[in-house]
Structure 1
């Protein structure tokens, strides 16, 4: 019987994944990652599922690495003037980087997670593809996976809808945490959601500066450029006028430039560059015509990707897109297949 290490969170997805893997004939080992100090509820729920299904259960203390590689990166990125994607980094370094190592240490044959994504094999390579449930699809976050890693991974939920997974949990009376997980899991304090900017205020010193229109008129003050992302409306509080949208940030002069029209050309771009790239498929030939998603849940749009030098590429969009944001991930698709991705740098 093949052994498989399953990442368990205590939520409905990983709980049902454990059941499905058992039914497929795997000997399942459950691993709960202690990422933050408030792990007790999740670990308790995951342990209950393991006990119900007769699964060996292993809590893993990864909090220090999670803090260094994900939480500190999140804050440091804002200090550097970019908008980070902590979930992409966590999947690369923690959920797969660490758990694949643990899989080897435990002598398991495969690693499984509760991600909504599919693996499809052809005669040449392994393809990472969108999930059947498009609303829950998480392929955007997994573009850093490699062919060698995909050989070792199983995604049991990719062919199901969230509704079907909940029904399976109910039918089998699986214990699980009822609340949905947060997009940024560490923006929680004792179970309560911490507002994004409040979290940053606690980790980055305020640095007030001027808010100006593109024609140079000063119309207000900001408390720190790290609060703003291109295209953002929330938080630009200028009494008596507005609304305003963040168009650009001048970090050298500490000026936030804004526009009033949400469709102002200053908010749009038709090309950008990416670095820190990973291409899942070796058969890609450049320049490649494909589609790109420039943020999670963004509708993928037509583009051409051209290489510049090692690891750096230029992306040319068929039509201008709004709020192309440095630090976010650009993920490339051919139909439902993930080609790869990288970090937007301009």
Structure 2
């Protein structure tokens, strides 16, 4: 965190009530920033988190506000998640939330309050190159790195963002929490999708009606070997929950028009060397020269693999050809492009 930024700089910190965002706020105050804590109310079951965030703000002696984004969150994130699942896709709501809510609505509101920056407890880093262009980088802690979820951001947004804990490991953050005397004994770590209380399957069952259909083997699509309850309850590569005898079986694909779940007993069928991506975004704001040799991740915590990116002529779709076959390439998920530790951009898998 450059000290020159702290001079007379006002920063709005998204405080979730968790360890990471609380330590982020504490680090910024120690560095000399004028810190304002903000809790984003996104649903009606976050009262404990709000109480804890308010308590942290009191300990740090910083102003505290609650921004109610419930309506926007439901419309832009929850409804999007359900709509995409209904299409048979496996969306990543955190990516959209970062773009639309945390670094969209929050940034807009913070700037109206005359803030210079917003900050979060994300594990990611920002650096500037020789031309003073800002770059999004992986965090120091590779096990906690969240740069994968930030590929939709652009340089304009990144210029106004701070990631105070990006240069720390989770263990170091927990030590800092004790040093700052923040109250986190027994606090549960945040769940993968904040609006899913139990499991994704349980959430989908409560919001989407079942639509039973046949389960068929890859090599014999006419032979029905079982029944599914709705294509949205399954994702590519899934093994558990198919409930067929003489398994294991793996979900290979979905035929949305015929409402057929296609499975295989051969795990090798899940491996592919190519995918098509849509809604591709480049952090620099400019498409690089193609074909582009780079690395890509097809899911969170997946190992980045060398890939060649080309564009389909007269379209907005891109083709990615991997050096090695990738297991269970899943439509709806994000594919994120890396140059070493730098995030260059990403897209949605078709």
Could you say which TM-score interval applies, normalised by the shorter chain?
A: over 0.9
Summarize the Cα distance change of 1:283–1:248 in structure 2 as closer, same or farther, 3 Å threshold: closer
2:339 corresponding residue in structure 1: 334
Query: Residue 121 in 1 paired to residue 128 in 2?
Result: yes
**Alignment pair present for 1:203 and 2:207:** yes
Matches of 2:165 and 2:219 in 1, distance apart?
52
1:344 to 2:314 alignment: no
Return structure 1 stretches of 4+ with deviation > 3 angstroms. none
- 1:270 matched residue in structure 2: 273
CA contact (8 A) 2:123 2:163 kept: yes
**Cα drift, residue 103 of structure 1:** 1.1
Match of 2:309 among 301, 305, 314: 305
CA shift at 1:156, angstroms? 0.4
| Pairs within 5 Å for 1:307-322 | 307-308=311-312, 309=314, 311-322=316-327
Which position in structure 2 is the counterpart of 1:178? 187
1:166 counterpart = 2:174: yes
Structure 2 runs not aligned, ≥5 long? 1-7
Aligned partners of 1:324, 1:121: CA distance in 2, in Å? 33
2:217 — aligned with what?
A: 213
For the residue of structure 1 that corresponds to 2:244, the secondary structure is: coil
TM-score by length of 1: 0.95
Distance in 1, matches of 2:172 and 2:92, equals: 29
Superposed CA RMSD: 1.2
> Is the Cα contact below 8 Å between 2:87 and 2:256 reproduced in 1?
no
Shift of 1:290: 0.5
Structure 1 residue aligned with 2:64: 57
Q: Secondary structure at the match of 1:5?
A: strand
Q: Unmatched 5+ residue regions in structure 1?
A: 189-193
Please give the TM-score of this superposition, normalised by the length of structure 2: 0.94
Deviations 1:236-264 (A, max 9, x none): 0013x10100111111111111111222x
Q: Deviations over 1:30-82 (max 9, x none)?
A: 11000010121111111111111111101010011001111111111011121
Shift in Å at residue 139 of structure 1?
Answer: 0.2
Partner deviation per Cα, 1:121-173 (whole Å, 9 max, x = no partner): 01232110000000000000000111111111111010000000000111221
Offset, 1:283:
7.5
